[in-house]
């Protein structure tokens, strides 16, 4: 019967010839090949389901939680196409590595007090199993943001802290400051995400009941287990003292005013520890002799992947940091918990700069692949998700293979690509990618932490006829003028493999991610409210 169907389809259908704009290679396709591709995908899914059923009862020795900050479904789709086009293909048929993981679900991202969420509340949900307010870090929703007076009794134990308690090794990796909201929610408890170092205390009326986030990272060993084994990312300024002028040894000037050098404390408080801040030191790390590694590669956030290496001393990539972290963590026979964040996807979107957001997403996928290849899928639960999405759109009926960063070129009545971009009602061309709100069009070569372009052109149309919309300095047009593009409220995807991955089914609340990790890793019987020590 199957062969008869295939023969009938083949007899009725001629090979489909697809043409693409520019020089992208078009795969040879036919109706029969599409049928066979679907059949093979279904057979693979059935095999994966059988494997997962036998694996679901096993304990996850290792847990790796990947979070693409701001990586909504439209970002994944656009990055998939961009990655394929960078490889010389049309792009649409491509898949990022994490899209090949066997289990998927959708997560609802709202905070308890906001329809459109922020990263602090969403990561709190993922790490503690309880949703909470926007802006607070691993504390319950009864907390008033910025008020530390009732912190005691309202802190929520995180998955990383549970892992420390049962003897697992733990680590965090991020391209953002490691005191930023997403990584901070793994180890810190504070009523406002902006209390990253002691100097930030001036922003609040009273922080006497709270510790700054950087201090909590160093002091974790006083609360749970033996503290973090690995912490790699940006945010050096929150750990070193404020001095007159630049500190050449650390590549910049710190912000701390309490006299503490937390990098020195890390080295004195942790056995077999090391602190590094540049690429050369990173490359020279002796993994066998290092049990606790702190790496702070930028004073603030690390560079976008597009700009990596422009900072003083250079910076490792997200996939390089992920690999180094696993090398250190896997030495523990009891297993490990690792959180990896691609933090700057979010920042590029806030700036309206899709190219940098997509390139960071591609590198994020590379990091997932690195982790998968370095671990055993039979004992390692890998979860890939986002904390929230952005008001980032893909639209305009472009032809197959049209540059994802380019102007929209549509097909003619015969289904073949036209020779020039489609014009809108105002007789101006437009791009496939755009933003609902934000700063709007700019055509600048930006770098480092220069997030926003000038002039502010949101809410008006620009003639893009002679503008290179594929350049790294191009910022997409936006409809509603705002000082920064905003998050969006739709669900985000979850991709997973390993023990417990089959528990991700359908549409779930975001806090379910914690409970899957908790069950699969047998981290604790129940997450609970704990007093501050």
pLDDT at 252: 67
**Which residues are CB-contacts of 408 (< 8 A; sequence separation ≥ 6)?**
396, 397, 398, 402, 421, 422, 429, 430, 431, 432
CA nearest to 385, candidates 193, 41, 127: 127
Which residue in this structure is represented by tokens 């690429």? Answer: 279
pLDDT at 203: 86
**Cα dist from 315 to 233, 295, 448, whole Å:** 9, 10, 12
**pLDDT tops 60 at residue 20:** no
**pLDDT tops 90 at residue 193:** yes
Total length of the chain = 533
pLDDT at 391: 98
User: What DSSP string describes 60-81?
Assistant: -SEEEEEEETT--HHHHHHHHH
Neighbour tally for 206: CB within 10 Å: 11
3-state secondary structure of 509: strand
User: What DSSP string describes 325-353?
Assistant: HHHHHTT-TT-EEEEEEETHHHHHHHTT-
Q: What would the pLDDT profile of 23-57 be if each residue is shown by its tens digit?
A: 555 667 776 776 777 778 777 777 776 776 666 66
174 has catalytic annotation: no
**pLDDT tops 70 at residue 454:** no
**pLDDT tops 70 at residue 16:** no
Joined tokens for residue 381: 């639960």
Q: Among the listed ranges 297-306, 392-401, 439-448, which one has the minimum average pLDDT value?
A: 439-448
Which residue in this structure is represented by tokens 């490792």? Answer: 316
Q: With cut-offs at 50, 70 and 90, classify the pLDDT of residue 8.
A: very low
DSSP state, 262?
H
Q: Name the active-site residue from 19, 54, 56, 119.
A: 119
For residues 462, 463, 464 and 466, what is the CA-based torsion angle, rounded to 10 degrees?
-140
Mean pLDDT to the nearest integer, 352-375: 98
Q: Among the listed ranges 1-10, 64-73, 138-147, which one has the minimum average pLDDT value?
A: 1-10
Q: With cut-offs at 50, 70 and 90, classify the pLDDT of residue 15.
A: very low
**Which residues are CB-contacts of 409 (< 8 A; sequence separation ≥ 6)?**
21, 398, 399, 402, 417, 418, 420, 421, 422
CA nearest to 238, candidates 176, 187, 288: 176
Q: With cut-offs at 50, 70 and 90, classify the pLDDT of residue 469.
A: very high
Exposure string over 142-175, b if 16+ CB within 10 A, otherwise e? ebebbbbeebeebbbbbbbbbbbeeebbbbbbbb
Q: H or E segment at 255?
A: none
Helix spans in 142-254 (H): 159-165, 181-184, 213-218
Top-confidence residue, 17 or 188: 188
Domain boundaries, the chain: 62-391+486-530
Strands, DSSP E only, in 236-364? 273-276, 292-296, 336-342
Distance CA 338, CA 377 (A): 15
Q: Domain 62-391+486-530 belongs to what topology?
A: Alkaline Phosphatase, subunit A (3.40.720)
CA nearest to 63, candidates 527, 454, 517: 517
Q: What would the pLDDT profile of 505-528 be if each residue is shown by its tens digit?
A: 899 999 999 999 999 999 987 544
Find out whether 298 and 282 touch, Cβ atoms under 8 Å.
no
Mean pLDDT to the nearest integer, 94-109: 96
Q: What would the pLDDT profile of 138-192 be if each residue is shown by its tens digit?
A: 999 999 999 888 888 899 999 999 999 999 999 999 999 999 999 999 999 999 9
DSSP state, 491?
-
**pLDDT tops 50 at residue 81:** yes
**pLDDT tops 90 at residue 309:** no
Q: What would the pLDDT profile of 197-247 be if each residue is shown by its tens digit?
A: 999 998 888 888 899 999 999 999 999 999 999 999 999 999 999 875 555
Q: With cut-offs at 50, 70 and 90, classify the pLDDT of residue 443.
A: confident
Exposure string over 104-123, b if 16+ CB within 10 A, otherwise e? bbbbbbbbbeeebbbbbbbb
**pLDDT tops 60 at residue 445:** no
pLDDT at 21: 44
* Residues of the chain above pLDDT 70, percent: 86
Distance CA 345, CA 75 (A): 9
């Amino acid at each position: 019967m199957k062969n008869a169907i295939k023969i009938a389809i083949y007899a009725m259908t001629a090979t489909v010839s697809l043409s693409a704009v520019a020089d992208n290679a078009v795969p040879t396709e036919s109706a029969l090949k599409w049928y066979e591709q679907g059949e093979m995908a279904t057979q693979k899914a059935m095999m994966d389901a059988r494997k997962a059923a036998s694996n679901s009862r096993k304990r996850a020795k290792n847990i790796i939680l990947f979070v693409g900050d701001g990586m909504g479904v439209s970002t994944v789709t656009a990055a998939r196409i961009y990655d394929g086009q960078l490889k010389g293909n049309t792009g649409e048929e491509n898949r990022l590595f994490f899209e090949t993981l066997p289990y998927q679900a959708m997560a609802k991202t709202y905070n308890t007090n906001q329809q459109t969420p922020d990263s602090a509340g969403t990561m709190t949900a993922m790490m503690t199993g309880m949703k909470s307010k926007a802006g607070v870090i691993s504390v319950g929703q009864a907390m008033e943001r910025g008020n530390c007076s009732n912190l005691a009794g309202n802190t929520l134990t995180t998955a990383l802290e549970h892992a420390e308690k049962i003897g697992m090794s733990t680590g965090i990796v991020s391209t953002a400051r490691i005191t930023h909201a997403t990584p901070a929610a793994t180890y810190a408890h504070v009523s406002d995400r902006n209390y990253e170092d002691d100097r930030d205390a001036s922003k609040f009326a009273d922080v006497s009941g709270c510790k700054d986030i950087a201090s909590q990272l160093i002091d974790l060993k006083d609360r749970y287990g033996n503290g973090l084994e690995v912490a790699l990312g940006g945010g050096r300024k929150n750990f070193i003292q404020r001095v007159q002028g630049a500190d050449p040894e650390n590549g910049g000037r710190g912000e701390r005013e309490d006299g503490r050098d937390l990098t020195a404390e890390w080295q004195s408080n942790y056995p077999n520890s090391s602190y590094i801040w540049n690429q050369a030191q990173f490359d020279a790390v002796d993994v066998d002799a290092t049990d606790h590694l702190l790496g702070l590669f930028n004073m603030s956030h690390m560079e976008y992947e597009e700009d990596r290496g422009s900072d003083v001393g250079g910076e490792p990539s997200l996939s390089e940091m992920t690999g180094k972290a696993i090398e250190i963590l896997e030495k523990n026979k009891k297993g490990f918990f690792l959180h990896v964040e691609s933090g700057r996807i979010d920042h590029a979107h806030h700036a309206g700069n899709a190219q940098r957001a997509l390139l960071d997403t591609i590198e994020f996928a590379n990091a997932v692949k690195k982790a998968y290849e370095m671990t055993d899928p039979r004992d390692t639960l890998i979860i890939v998700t986002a904390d929230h999405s952005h008001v980032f759109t893909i639209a305009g009926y472009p032809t197959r293979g049209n540059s994802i960063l380019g102007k929209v070129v549509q097909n003619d009545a015969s289904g073949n690509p036209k020779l020039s971009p489609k014009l809108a009602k105002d007789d101006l061309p437009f791009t496939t990618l755009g933003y609902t709100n934000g700063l709007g069009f700019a055509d600048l070569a930006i770098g480092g932490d220069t997030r926003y372009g000038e002039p502010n052109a949101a809410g008006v149309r620009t003639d893009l006829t002679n503008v290179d919309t594929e350049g790294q300095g191009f910022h997409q047009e936006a409809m509603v003028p705002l000082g920064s593009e905003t998050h969006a409220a739709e669900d985000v995807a979850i991709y997973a493999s390993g023990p417990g991955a089959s528990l991700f089914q359908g549409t779930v609340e975001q806090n379910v991610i914690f409970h899957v990790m908790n069950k699969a890793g047998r981290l604790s019987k129940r997450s609970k409210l704990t007093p501050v020590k």
